[in-house]
Structure 1
Amino acid sequence: MLTQLNIRNFAIIEDISITFTEGLTVLTGETGAGKSIIIDAIELLAGERGSVEFVRHETNKAEIEGLFIIDEKHHPIYSVASAYGMDIQEGQIVLQRTITSRGKSICRVNGKLVTLAVLREFGKTLIDIHSQHETQSLMDPDNHIELLDMYDESRILPVKKEYLGLFEKLDKLKKRYKKLNENEQEMAQRLDLLRFQFNELEQAELQPDEDLILEEERNRLANFQRIYNGLQDAYNALYGEQKGMDFLNEAQLALQENQEYDEFIAEKADILTNQYYLLEETTFAIRDYLESLEYDPYRLNEIEARLDEINRLKRKYGSSVNEMLDYMGEIAEEIEEIDNKDSHLLKLEREIEDLEKDARIEAEELHVVRQQAANALTKEVESELKGLYLEKARFSIAFREQQNLHVNGKDTVIFMISTNPGEPLKDLTKVASGGELSRIMLVLKKIFAKHQGVTSVIFDEVDTGVSGRVAQAIAEKIYQISLDSQVLCITHLPQVASMADTHKLIQKKEVDNRTATNVQELTETEQIDEIGRMITGSQLTDTATSHAREMIGLAKSYKSSIGKSKISSR
């Protein structure tokens, strides 16, 4: 969840630091106080594109920083971090975004500089922002099949993995077939190129690890004098009268002559004698190697010329001799395949036919499991919609089977809805009423929040266009979502505000003739007063205060009943 948000020099915000907790946090305040600006800041933190217009007037840069705590050990964020070579310590992730007055954007994750695209990858795993006028992932038909698979992941994922394994093999075979079945002119040109490359590599007579062996030999010849001098100095220091071995011999003889008188001397005499003979062997090895050394300037020239030839080939065929030899093998296989094209095409056709049969069987099994999940999801959505006073609404999941297999099998999935009796089911994106759309989105958010793994769900005035009993139902639904994910909600509805676990008031103030935004966490008494003002829309009255107190009391009773029902269902 998002636990700390720091914003500096962003729009009308000078410098604020907001602490968030679990559950439902409601943000209220007058229009223009800066509520949506805070959401804008979080959106930028999640990877949305920025603008110099966000930088506070007469400042050099706007800075946003968010600290997220991840309690779940298998959260998708760990896979994202691993993919980009980052380590998450103690479940803490810090996202940072800086926008300069010149329009430059600087992004960091846990202090490491990243691109905006990488920041977006982290952001979409941590934050899901939904506003009244924004199209989110739930509204995108391309995402519906992924959401359905996520809904019943334990049953669908194993079948999907089995299918994907077959589909990827099938796709590779089809690409090979297409490549081999290209027109005769292109194939002839390809064959000429391959034969030229093969001949060039064959004439080079490359040997495994040849480049490494030659570079090592070149290094020895290029540094021959230093190697020779070093070995000679070492040998001269060890061997000869009044040299290292001579003194060491005297030491081991002195201990041997007196070892019978002392146990310590006897022990060390054996050790020193063994070391003497080992060092003597090393000395003789140095001498023999010295005698074998021979400087050959012509050999050095040969090596340089050979390495130049190898490096020329590397620029065309691979970064090492071994890679070039592998490529040479691949060329030989492709030449043989083209020379015997007809037989290979026939073989590929049989392989593709057999594999496609297997893939279609798996695709059909995947389709059946998805339909079962769709039936369960349909019932759950319609049940939730009734709780939001859309009793007559019908929800359906349309399957449109494709003739050609694709990564999702043979299915294309679209969420369909009809909100009024007698109306046909329509694509979810075609729902016109803002109030209906808000309720449908809330239902889908509630169902998918626990499946998506998003730590923070943010609602920006999604309750616009509703009132009365629908407003109360929306408040209850938002609270239900907060039981599985942290929820931050900007609202103008007292029903939603009364459901808050934490209530923060956003206010505008003037300091030194400049407007600034202030965030205040309300006590229960202050919350009652704020909800009272939301009810009246202007001056706080005793009736509004009484009504606000009653709404908070009813909200507490509802939350208590929800908590008890969750415990009893475990």
Structure 2
Amino acid sequence: MLTHLTIKNYALIEDLSVSFQKGFSTITGETGAGKSIFLGGLSLVLGKRADLSSLRDKELKCIIEAEFEIEQYGLKSLFETYDLDYDQRTILRREIHPNGKSRAFVNDSPVNLDVMSQLGQRLIDIHSQHQTLELTENEFQLKVIDALANNSQLLSTYKEHLKVFEGAQKELKRLQTLLADAEKEQDYNTFLYSELHNAPLQGGILEELEASYDELTNVESILEQLSNSHQLLANDEIGIQALLAQCKLSISKLAGYGAAYAGLYERIQSVFLELDDLSSEIETLQEQVTPNPGLLEEVNEKLQLLYNLQKKHNAATIEELLLVKEDLATKISTSENIEHEMEAQQALITTTQKELTLLAGKLYERRIAVVPTLKSKLESSLQPLGMPNASFEIKFIHTESFQNTGRDQLIFEFSANRGAGYGSLKKVASGGELSRIMLVIKSILATYEKLPTMMFDEIDTGVSGEISNNMGDIMQQMSANMQVFSITHLPQVASKGDHHFKVYKEDDGEVTRTRMKKLSPEERVVELAEMLGGKSLSDSAMAHAKQLLN
């Protein structure tokens, strides 16, 4: 419920502050007094885009602040979704700055316009003759029927299953694309994996093969150097061993002359034994090292294979090639894993589809059951509004596809005159008829669900007399369950309000300002009399005004 509205520096409004109560409030004022300005300011705090030209003083910012009592609207989850502080008395504030920037706040927390708009739609429904297109939309018409059928919980369960169903369908499609891509690369990946699998990819193998290759390609030089080394060590006349044997013999003769000479002898003996062992090892290597063209070719082939694989996979080491091999093995097994995931998603789709079919069927049955009630309520409520022959034809087509509202396509047709054919509301109903139909539908909805504050903007344009009186009665009846505002030019409607506000212009000779005030009982009589007979305030107009109020 809207409890207070403040508008500063907006169009002709310099500073407006007004409080509202529950029940039915009527708002009147002469043409051009600023009722549309009042609505424009309110729309800004409900999330409408700002226009810099609406600033009264271009040097100051415009501020619109609306306070609501929201306890009965069930909005805690919405506040939690957007991480906003929840308060039963919630304030929406909008600021438009001279530099063109706009800021929005909910309980002093900054929000974007989308959040403010979502919240605003749940708090106030502004309806005028030019805003009846919603009535012609299938989704809104279904909403009316679902309200009468008390389908809220059933529809919520259906939407939860639909979300799972559509998610599973989307995931299955993704997996199918993934599998198709994987299958395209399957043969190539298998070939690459086979190459790596058959290659000798042991740790250190590259260094070992490179060493073998160097040895096998230089075997003649190795044998030559080994032979020379063996000659230098083992030649009988000039070999190192023969010369060292002579040296050892000489030193052995000194060994008995003291510890120093004995030490020398032991060291020479040690060197002699080491050289003898070295000579034997060189001789053994000479016997082992032999030219082997076959082995050289085999080692060269393995090296070239590893070099090529490193180049192909941009790998610097054998370890990196092993990682590539592991990755290819994963890719090859991906197809099999994807198929298992696809089976799981298909099973989920099948299960959820059965549940959706069952829930959609229940929705259809409950909707069909309330059609006669809705048809009767609409037609009987429109009779006193100057539409005595209004008739509706409401039918359902059960479709195969799952929509957000079920599987029902609604055919909602209207005829204003007896004997005339039925047609869609958009085609056969006039603007005035659409307004009255919307008023009746909103009044019906008000008895079945908690609606936001309703603001009717001159929907009674073009009607008069008893019809306007009956429209006022409907809005007054609605206000028993909700807060209702009516901006009106008709005294019959204005007199029905529990509270009466007047919008007027004030001119001090220099500037014109739009004001708004709540009328006292005496002021209401005068206002209604002026609406009935003009500024002259005849006795008959005053009497008629009092009669309307009583």
TM over 0.5: yes
Secondary structure of the equivalent of 1:8?
strand
CA RMSD in angstroms comes to 2.9
- Unmatched segments (≥5 aa) in structure 1: 196-330, 554-570
- Cα distance in 1 for partners of 2:419, 2:357 equals 38
Q: 2:168 aligns with which of 163, 166, 173?
A: 173
Q: Which residue of 2 aligns with 1:51?
A: 51
Bigger radius of gyration, 1 or 2?
A: 2
Q: Which residue of 2 aligns with 1:425?
A: 422
Q: 1:93 aligns with which of 90, 93, 113?
A: 90
Residues 140-539 of structure 1: matches in 2 within 5 Å? 140-153=137-150, 156-182=151-177, 186-188=181-183, 338-339=335-336, 352-353=349-350, 355-451=352-448, 453-511=450-508, 513-539=510-536
> How many Å apart are 1:47 and its aligned residue?
0.9
> How many Å apart are 1:178 and its aligned residue?
2.4
Q: Write the deviation string for residues 325-368 of structure 1: whole angstroms up to 9, x where unpaired.
A: xxxxxx99997562266676567656644543443233212211
- Cα distance in 2 for partners of 1:543, 1:193 equals 99
Supply the AA of the counterpart residue of 1:406: Q
Conserved 8 A contact 1:76-1:125: no
Supply the AA of the counterpart residue of 2:67: L
- Cα distance in 2 for partners of 1:494, 1:176 equals 61
Q: 1:547 aligns with which of 539, 544, 548?
A: 544
- Cα distance in 1 for partners of 2:494, 2:185 equals 70
- Cα distance in 2 for partners of 1:451, 1:193 equals 65
Supply the AA of the counterpart residue of 2:86: I
Conserved 8 A contact 2:61-2:98: yes
Q: Answer yes or no: is 1:27 the counterpart of 2:27.
A: yes
Change (3 A) 1:552 1:48: same
- Cα distance in 1 for partners of 2:428, 2:64 equals 35
Supply the AA of the counterpart residue of 2:500: H
- Cα distance in 1 for partners of 2:477, 2:125 equals 16
Secondary structure of the equivalent of 1:387?
helix
Supply the AA of the counterpart residue of 1:530: E
> How many Å apart are 1:532 and its aligned residue?
1.0
- Cα distance in 1 for partners of 2:141, 2:189 equals 46
> How many Å apart are 1:107 and its aligned residue?
0.5
Tell me the number of residue pairs that the alignment of Structure 1 and Structure 2 aligns.
413
Change (3 A) 1:186 1:451: farther
Q: Write the deviation string for residues 299-333 of structure 1: whole angstroms up to 9, x where unpaired.
A: xxxxxxxxxxxxxxxxxxxxxxxxxxxxxxxx999
- Cα distance in 2 for partners of 1:332, 1:355 equals 35
Conserved 8 A contact 2:456-2:485: yes
- Cα distance in 2 for partners of 1:384, 1:532 equals 29
- Unmatched segments (≥5 aa) in structure 2: 191-327
Q: 2:78 aligns with which of 62, 77, 80?
A: 80
Secondary structure of the equivalent of 1:85?
coil
Supply the AA of the counterpart residue of 1:70: I
- Cα distance in 1 for partners of 2:188, 2:404 equals 34
Conserved 8 A contact 2:179-2:335: no
Q: Which residue of 1 aligns with 2:200?
A: none
- Cα distance in 2 for partners of 1:85, 1:135 equals 34
Conserved 8 A contact 1:507-1:517: yes
> How many Å apart are 1:30 and its aligned residue?
1.0
Conserved 8 A contact 1:402-1:410: yes
Supply the AA of the counterpart residue of 1:377: L
Change (3 A) 1:525 1:163: closer
Conserved 8 A contact 1:450-1:485: no
> How many Å apart are 1:80 and its aligned residue?
1.6
When the two structures are superposed, what TM-score results if normalisation uses the length of structure 2?
Answer: 0.69
Conserved 8 A contact 2:34-2:503: yes
- Cα distance in 2 for partners of 1:533, 1:194 equals 90
Change (3 A) 1:433 1:348: closer
Conserved 8 A contact 2:182-2:331: no
Change (3 A) 1:175 1:536: same
Q: Write the deviation string for residues 19-53 of structure 1: whole angstroms up to 9, x where unpaired.
A: 11111111111111111211111111111112112
